[in-house]
Amino acid sequence: MQVALVVPETTPLADADDRAVARAERTARGLARHGHDVTIYCTGWWSDRLDHTETREREGVTYRAVTVAPATTSYHARVPALLAAAGPDAVHVVGGVSVVLAARAGATAARAPLVVDWFGETPPEGRLVGPALRTADRVVTPSELVRTRVRERGAPEDRTGVVPEAIDLDCVRTVDPAADPPDVVAATDLDEDANLESVLLGLAELRRRDWTAVVVGDGPELAAYERQAADLSIGDRVTFAGALPRDERLALYRGAHVFCQTARDEVFAVELLWALACGCVGVVEYQADSAAHELVERRTRGVRVSTPEEIAGAITEAGQFEPWTVDGSLAEFDADAVAGRWLDVYHAVGAPVEEAPPEERDAAAQS
């Protein structure tokens, strides 16, 4: 199957924290591993005076330069003709309204269905959002929270769906648990939406018990949270570890018993998902603008709470669960399984999804 992803700025041009772009590139790699032909139409981050090639290959994915430098108008103007010439089986777009409308023109010319991945870190706004969403054959979001938002802005309910973020369970299994792990861990950007005070207040309720905690993450509120921990007389038992790389986070998660999720604004709680996959018991404080509770609903090793007192109680009650270092029941969130979900989306909107030839499947499995 030939899939075209329309993503104006990919790595290394995109912001390192742009989760929508990271999700798109991860999806592209997953589809390529399934043996499909994947091209990302992007700004040519490799183009310079010594290199005028139009494409680059990386991890089985073709990157096609629409423009050679960030140029919004030129990008939008050129995408439709490039898609029409390529004739993909499905067009998958990530970006704002203008990108969606440009991709729609190209998909129509190519007679291919258009799938919009609306990650939704900011609520959809603007006069043309509704028309752009309605022009898609399917609008995909990472959570039910964001799906509700796009339906409220005009996307027809029967043309919306959810494909979650992905994790790598093989990576989970290959990282050794931390040698001296904490009992409780939290991981979030320490900004105005972190709401880490709920975790600290909950831990303070348990100050007479024996426990240690680690907070992973950095941000402008770090110093304030360090002061709050000291003021609550738990500063000696809460370690602020900073922004750790993935393997060090997984080592902590595999050793810890409880992961606390309290951020106010989260379209998909990916750190919570990693921690659950590492066997942590998930304690999630419900927030109206967070989708984190969706990951613990109907899960035995997860609980939803509303107050710091309930966080304290949930941490205590988590002692009834035996320690785990991996939870295989989360295989549906593994990267290859999620890539399969995207193929199901393309098939549902009319793309001719076919099984890759045996030789391509074997090559993908060995890579």
Statement: residue 359 has pLDDT above 80: no
Statement: residue 307 has pLDDT above 80: yes
Q: In what order do the strands lie in the sheet with 37-43?
A: 55-58, 61-67, 37-43, 2-6, 90-93, 114-117, 138-141, 160-162
pLDDT at 196: 98
pLDDT at 355: 55
pLDDT at 68: 81
Same domain, 231 and 143: no
More confident of the two residues 202 and 127 = 202
Beta-carbon contacts of 222 under 8 Å, excluding residues fewer than 6 positions away, are 190, 240
Q: Are strands 61-67 and 55-58 parallel, antiparallel or unpaired?
A: antiparallel
CATH number at residue 132: 3.40.50.2000
Query: What percentage of the chain exceeds 90 in pLDDT?
Result: 83
Same domain, 177 and 268: yes
Same domain, 161 and 175: no
Give the angle subtended at the CA of 185 by the CAs of 183 and 188, to the nearest 5°.
175
Q: How confident is the model at residue 251 (pLDDT cuts 50, 70, 90)?
A: very high
Same domain, 245 and 353: no
pLDDT at 366: 45
| Calpha distance 355→57 (Å, rounded) | 23
Same domain, 161 and 174: no
Same domain, 320 and 351: no
Contact present, 132 and 150 (Cβ < 8 Å): no
How many separate domains does the chain show?
2
- Please give the helix or strand (H or E) that residue 137 lies within, else none: none
Statement: residue 95 has pLDDT above 90: no
| Calpha distance 86→82 (Å, rounded) | 6
Q: Residue 86: which domain range? A: 2-166+334-366
pLDDT at 47: 61
What digits encode the pLDDT tens for the residues 315-356? 999 999 999 999 999 999 999 999 999 999 999 999 886 655
pLDDT at 123: 63
| Calpha distance 295→97 (Å, rounded) | 29
Same domain, 13 and 136: yes
Same domain, 225 and 342: no
Place of tokens 């709920």: 198
Q: How confident is the model at residue 90 (pLDDT cuts 50, 70, 90)?
A: very high
Among 117, 156, 118, 112, residue whose Cα is nearest residue 134: 156
Same domain, 277 and 157: no
Query: What percentage of the chain exceeds 70 in pLDDT?
Result: 93
Among 10, 23, 346, 336, residue whose Cα is nearest residue 165: 23
Mean pLDDT of 271-299: 97
What digits encode the pLDDT tens for the residues 161-198? 999 999 999 999 999 999 999 999 999 999 999 999 99
How many Å is the Cα radius of gyration of the chain? 22
Place of tokens 């790389």: 245
Contact present, 40 and 75 (Cβ < 8 Å): no
Structure tokens at 118: 């609306």
| Calpha distance 40→62 (Å, rounded) | 6
Structure tokens at 142: 């990472």
Same domain, 89 and 109: yes
Give the angle subtended at the CA of 94 by the CAs of 143 and 34, to the nearest 5°.
80
Mean pLDDT of 91-117: 96
Same domain, 8 and 142: yes
| Calpha distance 359→336 (Å, rounded) | 18
Place of tokens 């831990």: 203
Q: Angle, to 10 degrees, between the axis of helix 197-204 and the axis of helix 308-317?
A: 60
| Calpha distance 196→285 (Å, rounded) | 11
pLDDT at 72: 82
Backbone angles phi, psi at 92, to 5 degrees: -120, 120
Same domain, 119 and 197: no
